[in-house]
Amino acid sequence: MRAWRLQAWKSDPELVEVDQPRPGPGQVVIRIGGAGACHSDLHLMREFDAGQLPWGPPFTLGHENAGWVHETGDGVTGLQVGTPVAVHGPWGCGTCSRCLAGLDPYCENPEAAPVAGGGGGLGLDGGMAEFMIVPAARHLVPLPDGLDPVTAAPLTDAALTPYHAVRRSWGKLSPGSTAVVIGIGGLGHLAVQILKATTAARIVAVDTRGEALDLAGRAGADLLVPAGERAAEEIRRGTGGRGADAIFDCVGTDRTLALGVACGRMLGDLTIIGLGGGAVPVSFFGVPYELSVQSTYWGSRPELVEVLDLAARGLLNTATTTFPLTDALEAYRQMEAGSLVGRAVVVP
């Protein structure tokens, strides 16, 4: 079969022929229906050196995956061949307290995981291929009626990641509150919809691109703010001077984090979602009083079930551009150039 393999750090992936996987005991092979192209993949291609992560190339890219059960190994029950499924991408040990709660991204026994701190497309073979092997059936979620694999694939990260971040701030997003989403790309436009569907907050969207702000408006944002020197002032003016109760930074650069601090409200949350490499100094007078600053990584399997339910009910709609498997590299090139609005999905 054909697969896009990252053969070495700081290189483009290559489309190569590899053996079709066969399942061992407890494993499942899925036929890929859609694989999302994520900005994290660009970080893997451009920024990492040997030894920086506990895993490395070669492996097949693609950590946002959905498809159909193709073959099951001995001991797998409850999954019939042909069942449409989404893949919960992070793969932990399965036995620590975090994994037992479905929080594989925060596995506390990485030595016993299939790959420490990673998963399919992150150290192990992912879904930028015709077939993919999943090490345990618990990593698969059957798709609800009305949701197909092409639609579901990007939800497994591009929606699950902001959903987890928004969910942990629900207590601060009551009527009269304000939430800010910085960066209306693949994750940001879904973060706006998640806020709209699950909270009563006023939603502010910030981006440098007019087309991205237009997308945020269609997604349900109440206030559209062009990024720039006056962005924090405009957000504070729109909140009666109080600032935002929760800020979700889907970019994560020095500049966007500084904006998050500048527009944050006392007792609020600033959540770093994007991998832009920025930092924010935290000191007694450096941030609003009791503004909590945290990072999040992906989301849990139970949260993925909730995300898929929202999408099946029409409350989450991913802006996607589809590419055939042979053109996956073009998807990454458009993403790197900043010309892609929404999410790219590779469809074998």
Residues 235-274 pLDDT 10s: 999 999 999 999 999 999 999 999 999 999 999 999 999 9
| Alpha carbon distance 252, 275 (integer Å) | 6
What H or E segment, with its residue span, contains residue 228? none
- Which DSSP symbol is given to 98? H
In terms of domains, do 248 and 194 share one? yes
The angle subtended at Cα 320 by Cα 314 and Cα 325, nearest 5°, is 130
State residue 116's pLDDT score. Answer: 87
In terms of domains, do 88 and 224 share one? no
In terms of domains, do 282 and 338 share one? no
In terms of domains, do 322 and 219 share one? no
Domain closes at, from 295, 316, 332 = 295
In terms of domains, do 51 and 128 share one? yes
With a pLDDT cut of 70, the percent of the chain lying above it is 100
pLDDT of residue 17 exceeding 90: yes
Six token digits for residue 220: 């349900």
Of the pLDDT bands very low, low, confident and very high (cuts 50, 70, 90), residue 117 is: confident
Q: What are the distances in angstroms from CA 174 to CA 177, 195, 202, 316? A: 6, 11, 9, 20
In terms of domains, do 63 and 22 share one? yes
Contact residues for 237 (Cβ-Cβ < 8 A; gap 6+) = none
In terms of domains, do 279 and 140 share one? no
Of the pLDDT bands very low, low, confident and very high (cuts 50, 70, 90), residue 8 is: very high
* Number of CB atoms found within 10 A of residue 78's CB: 9
DSSP line for 11-53: S--EEEE-PPP---TT-EEEEEEEEEE-HHHHHHHHT--TTSS
Domain closes at, from 253, 275, 295 = 295
| Alpha carbon distance 348, 346 (integer Å) | 6
Q: What is the CA radius of gyration of the chain?
A: 20
In terms of domains, do 136 and 12 share one? yes
Six token digits for residue 286: 């450096």
User: Cα–chain-centroid distance for residue 219?
Assistant: 17
| Alpha carbon distance 346, 62 (integer Å) | 9
The number of domains in the chain is: 2
In terms of domains, do 138 and 258 share one? no
In terms of domains, do 88 and 8 share one? yes
| Alpha carbon distance 193, 216 (integer Å) | 9
What CATH code is carried by the domain that includes residue 317?
3.90.180.10
Q: Where are the beta strands (DSSP E) in the chain?
A: 2-6, 14-17, 28-37, 59-60, 64-72, 84-87, 119-120, 123-124, 131-134, 140-142, 178-182, 202-207, 223-226, 244-249, 264-272, 292-295, 320-324, 343-347
The angle subtended at Cα 141 by Cα 43 and Cα 58, nearest 5°, is 35
What CATH code is carried by the domain that includes residue 236?
3.40.50.720
Structural domain boundaries, residue 110: 2-157+299-347
- Which DSSP symbol is given to 71? E
Q: Identify the residue with better confidence: 43 or 134.
A: 134
In terms of domains, do 12 and 44 share one? yes
In terms of domains, do 267 and 322 share one? no
Average of per-residue pLDDT across 280-286: 92
